[in-house]
Amino acid sequence: MLDLIPSLGSWRPAVSGQRCAVATIVAAGGSVPRPLGTSLLVSEHGDVLGSLSGGCVEGAVVDAALQAMRDDGPRLESFGYSAEDAFAVGLTCGGELEVHIQPLGSSPEAMDYAMLNSLAGHHSTAALALIRRLDAGGGAVVVQDPVRFRAMESPELARLVGDHPATVYAAAAQLEPLLQGGRTGMVRLAPPEGCGPAAGSVSGDRQPEPITLFVESRLPAARMLIFGANDFGAALLPAGKLLGYDVTLCDARPAFSSQGRFVAADQVVTDWPHRYLAAEAAAGCVDGRSVVCVLTHDPKFDIPLLETALGLGLAYVGAMGSRRSHRQRIDALLAAGTPAEALERLHSPIGLDLGAVTPAEVAVSITAEILASRAPASLAPLTASSLKDGSGPIHHTEPPAVHEPRTHEPRQEDPWT
């Protein structure tokens, strides 16, 4: 639903007060065109805002939304692919979707235009979350600060799930990781004991319906901090921006950091790297999604910076250098008191072994390793090998064979060898 908020204020059916229903992807399997949380608004006259599948199922969703408004109640629709019926409504990509459809304002607790308009006042990149109850209970809670939200301290959440302490406690355990990670997902909670039909009644054998919550959490862009105003930093900067990071370039040397080729960074900082990173951490400006790429290749900068970075619980810390400089770096960090287990999180030499040579290719190697480090553990066997897990020269010395990746001769004292 959060994806529609920026467009809501100019959508004529909403402005004119027409009845509307919101359709949201709440579950997906296989290959699907849009992620969980993607929503579509349908007006009572059939006008549409948004898209769920790029056209595969939109017509059927609009029909279901119009029916939901006529029935004045929510519904759950499933869409897949049927090889037996080529004319059936479904996803030609072979995936499966579950779409929850809820008329706006269909009950006192449901979402309405007032709630949506309160969301519309937020910048499209500001932190924001929405918790919706999808089962018969209905209702929604807006979370203004997902990272600091504490479920056990929220009276709005308690009312949403029924004011039962055990249920709120169970909700907190599942909700807070989603909210604080800026993720979207479904949370199902067992109803409190005693909330089902009375024993011996006609419906007494039926189990009470679980409480189903759908969470959408949006956080500001994660940060990429590049240390080193050099050719590699200049190439990595746009690559980080392409991945959606808020990119900072930092170097202690004004003559380097002030160069025009770094103006595309969100912030350019002239300061000692470790001092700047420590100050940003103390101000709460880095978190568990932040990545640090150390490209300075100078021990007087690298050692105190890596010592600071490895103590912050960041998503990724990588450092450029040769095998020899890596060994010297590890010895210096151990001597400075960095725990050996912290050094296991250091990606050094930085990047995946893609045969990268030029700064642009090295930038691809680094961003590829960052992406691989974010992948679930179950996908680990599918990722490329990391340079930090290999041995021997970083670059191959054998001439390339036909159809094999390009390699190059190692260069003495090259910071990438």
Segment 390-411 shows an average pLDDT of: 43
Residue 399 included in any domain:
no
Shared domain for 141 and 263, answered yes or no, is no
Using CA atoms of 343, 348, 352, 355 in order, give the dihedral in degrees to the nearest 10.
-160
Segment 174-181 shows an average pLDDT of: 89
* DSSP per-residue codes, 218-274: E-PPPEEEEE--SHHHHHHHHHHHHTT-EEEEEES-HHHHT-GGGTTSSEEEES-HH
Using CA atoms of 91, 92, 94, 99 in order, give the dihedral in degrees to the nearest 10.
-10
List Cβ neighbours of 151 (8 Å cut-off, separation of 6 or more).
Answer: 157, 168, 171, 172, 175, 176
Strands 223-227 and 246-251: parallel
| C-alpha radius of gyration, the chain, whole number | 26
Local confidence band at 85 (pLDDT 50, 70, 90 cut-offs): very low
Residue 414 included in any domain:
no
pLDDT at 413: 38
Residue 403 included in any domain:
no
pLDDT digits (tens, 9 = 90+) for 2-39: 878 777 778 888 778 888 899 998 888 766 667 888 88
Shared domain for 227 and 317, answered yes or no, is yes
pLDDT at 414: 43
CATH for 375: 3.40.50.720
pLDDT digits (tens, 9 = 90+) for 210-264: 899 999 998 888 999 999 999 999 999 999 999 999 999 999 999 999 999 999 9
Residue 407 included in any domain:
no
Position 63 pLDDT exceeds 70: yes
Q: Give the bridge partners for 102, in sequence order.
A: 22
Strands 20-29 and 140-143: unpaired
Give the helix/strand (H/E) hosting 111.
none
Residue closest to 60 by CA, chosen among 74, 44, 79: 79
Shared domain for 236 and 380, answered yes or no, is yes
Residue 312 included in any domain:
yes
Residue 269 included in any domain:
yes
Shared domain for 30 and 168, answered yes or no, is no
Local confidence band at 199 (pLDDT 50, 70, 90 cut-offs): very low
Shared domain for 249 and 337, answered yes or no, is yes
**Residue % of the chain over a pLDDT of 70:** 76
Shared domain for 232 and 292, answered yes or no, is yes
Residue closest to 37 by CA, chosen among 4, 13, 86: 4
Domain boundary, last residue among 107, 142, 162: 107
Residue 416 included in any domain:
no
Shared domain for 212 and 65, answered yes or no, is no
Shared domain for 384 and 358, answered yes or no, is yes
Local confidence band at 56 (pLDDT 50, 70, 90 cut-offs): low
- What is the CA angle 236-239-240, rounded to 5? 85
Q: List, in sequence order, the alpha helices (H) in 352-399.
A: 359-374
pLDDT at 137: 65
184 vs 89: which has the higher pLDDT: 184
Shared domain for 146 and 66, answered yes or no, is no
Shared domain for 267 and 252, answered yes or no, is yes
Domain boundary, last residue among 107, 139, 172: 107
Domain that holds residue 28: 1-107
179-212 exposure pattern, b = at least 16 Cβ within 10 A, e = fewer: bbbbbbbbbebebbeeebeeeeeeeeeeeeeebb
Local confidence band at 404 (pLDDT 50, 70, 90 cut-offs): very low
Least confident of 257-261, 348-352, 393-397, 404-408: 404-408
The domain total for the chain is 3
Shared domain for 382 and 339, answered yes or no, is yes
Residue 266 included in any domain:
yes
Residue closest to 52 by CA, chosen among 93, 18, 82: 93
Contact 88, 47 (CB under 8 A): no
- Rounded CA-CA distance 307/268 in Å is 22
Position 402 pLDDT exceeds 70: no
Shared domain for 154 and 284, answered yes or no, is no
